[in-house]
Amino acid sequence: MSKMHFLHLGKQPIANGFLNQEQFDDEFFYNLSVGFDEETCLVTQLDYVKPELMFNEDYAYRGSMSKTMVNHFSEFSKSFKNRINKPNILEIGSNDGVFLKNWDKKNTFAVEPCANFAKETNDLGYKTYCDFWNRNLAEKIGQENGYMDLIFAANCICHIPDLDETFSAVESLLKPHGLFVFEDPSLASMINNNSYDQIYDEHPHIFSVMALSKLLKRNGLEIVRVDSLSVHGGSNRIWAQKIDHNTRPDIDRYLDYERVIGLDDIECFKRFAERVAQSKEDLRNLLTRCADQDKKVISYGATSKSTTVFNYCDVGPDLISCITDTTPEKQHKYSPGMHIPILPQKDSDVFDYAFLGAWNFAEEIKKKELYFGGRFITHVPTVRIVE
Ligand code: TYD
């Protein structure tokens, strides 16, 4: 794959690597650079971080921490249940079971390389393979449980460096008319929102429909439907199946739209890189002004996205005094790289501004935080104070 470099986001740590003080000296860093592959139009990192460094027994991200996501998976599951009776299902990247819990334990299986979460869903009764997804594992799952009607993955496929291995493994485990449904942040939304913080170690790729269509095709799969979703700042849910020359895929309007905004042209990404540099300058200026005026700024949501923002923009505890988060695994630790303390949120906390680290949940957060007399700061799509 020949990648044309267009963006450098500096020295970055493991985005979900929340740590204790005694771990500061041994923290791992890498250079986060992003390129564009001319052949497939895939936007992808130049060097991938080893998956074992990110996905292990200490993994801290819990999908069920937001009501929005719990409802999102429940709604999808309900709608899918109307299509087929008692499907054989596999989820790749099942995390804490936020999707699995909508399904029957007898014929729902899961793959999850993070041992803490694989144990949790095994304990719930869902047979979970604690491993990385690949062809060997697909073969083993097929032998033990049969072929699948649905292979589902949410915010997982864009985590996997080798997409050919991933897609061919999926193809090998699907029933002839089985569906592969997966959702990940959309490249079009990232470009439109200037949300460069979608890029971090766990997201080696940010997908366009255009790139996925080519990559799936060379592994025997075709896209038959795309749903635009609002979750995670704009995602695409891709519906794919084994190539069948009798189907009439309805994806042209997505491909046309992506061509109009230039997702097949390196110039689009060069312009994006310029906007990213401007966003950094604007955020540093705003936070420095707040500090000069003795305003207390916290961050809301210890997200992977905010790891990218704070490390790229060099924002540390001098500018953001703490980060609040509801996830027990993150609380009382420090943020990766910049070492900002992470605390549970208490209603009594007094602050002037909250930076929306979880800007993708802005609506859910604003509803919850009606008591909050301060104001929010966001960098998406441009840096500003939200009244
Ligand atoms: P998410 O945006 O999914 O993060 P990532 O960038 O890592 O994919 O995660 C949201 C984080 O914010 C998660 O750690 C839970 C936390 N959170 C709160 O603390 N309070 C809230 O009200 C919500 C919605 C999320």
Q: Pocket of ligand 1, candidates 64, 73, 298, 303: which has the most ligand atoms within 8 Å of its Cβ, to mutate?
A: 303
CA distance 313 to 5: 20
Q: Determine the Cα–Cα distance for residues 95 and 98; give it in Å rounded to an integer.
A: 7
pLDDT of amino acid 371 = 58
* Cα-to-centroid distance, 383 and ligand 1 (Å): 20
CA of 290 to the centre of ligand 1 (A): 24
Q: What is the mean pLDDT of residues 93-106?
A: 97
CB-ligand 1 contact for 321 (6 Å cutoff): no
Distance between Cα 301 and ligand 1 center (Å)? 5
Q: Which atom of ligand 1 is nearest to the CA of 67?
A: 24
Q: Under 8 Å CB-to-CB from 354, ≥6 apart: which residues? A: 297, 298, 299, 300, 324, 369, 372, 374, 375, 376, 377
Contact, 339 vs 317, CB < 8 A?
yes
**SS3 labels along 11-51:** EEECCCCCECHHHHHHCCEEEEEEEEECCCCCEEECCCCCH
The ligand 1 atom nearest the CA atom of 306: 6
The sign of the CA dihedral 277, 183, 230, 365 is negative
Confidence at residue 348, expressed as pLDDT on a 0 to 100 scale: 45
Alpha-carbon gap, residue 233 to 378, rounded angstroms:
13
Instruction: Please state, in angstroms and as integers, the Cα–Cα distance from residue 47 to each residue in 111, 161, 203, 223, 276, following that order.
Output: 25, 10, 12, 28, 20
Q: How remote is the CA of residue 232 from the centroid of ligand 1, in Å? A: 10
Among candidate residues 307, 229, 113, the one with its CA nearest the CA of residue 299: 307
**Ligand 1 contacts CB of residue 303 (under 6 A):** yes
pTM for the whole structure: 0.95
pLDDT in tens, 122-134: 999 999 999 999 9
Binding site membership of 307 for ligand 1 (Cβ less than 6 Å): no
**Where residue 363 falls among pLDDT bands split at 50, 70, 90?**
confident
CB-based contact 176:183 (threshold 8 Å): no
Which of 83-92, 142-151, 187-196, 304-313 has the least mean pLDDT? 83-92
Chain centroid to CA 48: how far?
A: 15
Contact present, 34 and 6 (Cβ < 8 Å): yes
pLDDT at 53: 95
What pLDDT score does 1 carry?
A: 67
254: pLDDT confidence band, cut at 50, 70 and 90? Answer: very high
CA 86 / ligand 1 centre spacing (Å): 32
Average pLDDT on 227-232 reads: 96
Residue located nearest, by CA, to atom 22 of ligand 1 = 365
Atom of ligand 1 nearest to the CA of 360: 2
Give the pairing type, strands 375-378 and 353-356. parallel
Distance CA 211, CA 190 (A): 15
Residue 46 φ/ψ region, left for φ over 0, alpha for ψ in the -120 to 50 degree band, beta for the rest = alpha
**pLDDT above 70 (res 373):** no
pLDDT tens across 182-212, in order?
999 999 999 999 999 999 999 999 999 999 9
Taking a C-beta distance cutoff of 8 angstroms, is the pair 249, 239 a contact? Answer: no
DSSP for 174-240, please give it.
EEEEEEEEEEEEBHHHHHHHT-GGG-STT-SEEB-HHHHHHHHHTTTEEEEEEEEE-GGGSEEEEEE
CA 361 to ligand 1 centroid distance, Å: 7
Which ligand 1 atom is the nearest neighbour of the CA of 345? 19
Average pLDDT over residues 7-34: 98
Phi, then psi, of 19 in degrees rounded to 5: -140, 165
What is the pLDDT, as a whole number, of residue 59? 92
Which tens digits make up the pLDDT trace of 66-82?
A: 899 999 999 999 999 98
Each residue's pLDDT tens digit, 304-343: 999 999 999 999 999 999 999 999 999 999 999 999 999 9
